[in-house]
Structure formats: C-alpha cells, structure tokens
Amino acid sequence: MLFMQISRHSPESCPMNNEKAMKASSNLNAKMDKLTKKHGVKIVGAWHDGANHRFVFLWDASFDALMKLSMEPEMMAWGAFHNNEVFPVMTLEETAKLFLK
C-alpha cells in the first residue's frame, strides 16, 4: 500500500538553523536504509522543498510496518521537529479502475 507523508518544520527548527534538529536529521539519514529494511518498508520517492521547509515521502508499506518504523527512536527524534501528515494514496490508474466504468 502507498502512503504519502508531508513533513513541515519551522524556520526555527530547520536543521540549517538548529543544532538538535541537524543531529536528529543526521542520525536518521545514517540509519534510514537499515530501518526501512528492518520493517519491510520501501521509499518510493522522497523530495525536499527547502524554501517552504517541507519534506515529502512516498512509502510502500503495510500500515503496521509504517507505524513500527515511525516509532523507531531516530524517526521519533526527527519527527519531534516536524508536523507530519501521513495518509494512504493510490495511483490515478488504480482510482480509475475503482470508480470509472
């Protein structure tokens, strides 16, 4: 199942301006591959919008696996500096199969 995550931080909690946020970001970056493999989660895509202090992730995972990943200490530390929205999404092709006849 696909999940979209949109994470925003304030200019004050930006890793470029905040040492603690930078440490949390560095720690998560160093362990992300190991953590996603541990929980069977795939990063389909990830983007950064620096001007708006926003990250966008597209995850392929079961709900349980994504929740377990989000509870890892490195994810919790990083998430403490962000407002996070996570929601299921489907491709337009999948949507068309469900609703267009």
Half-sphere exposure (CA, 13 Å, Cβ side) for 71? Answer: 7
Whole-structure pTM value: 0.90
* CATH code for the part of the protein at 2-99: 3.30.70.1060
The answer to whether the CB of 72 falls within 8 A of the CB of 12 is: no
What's the first-to-final CA gap in the chain, in angstroms?
23
pLDDT at 100: 87
What are the 10-residue block averages of pLDDT along the chain, 101 residues in total?
Answer: 97 95 97 98 97 97 97 97 97 91 73
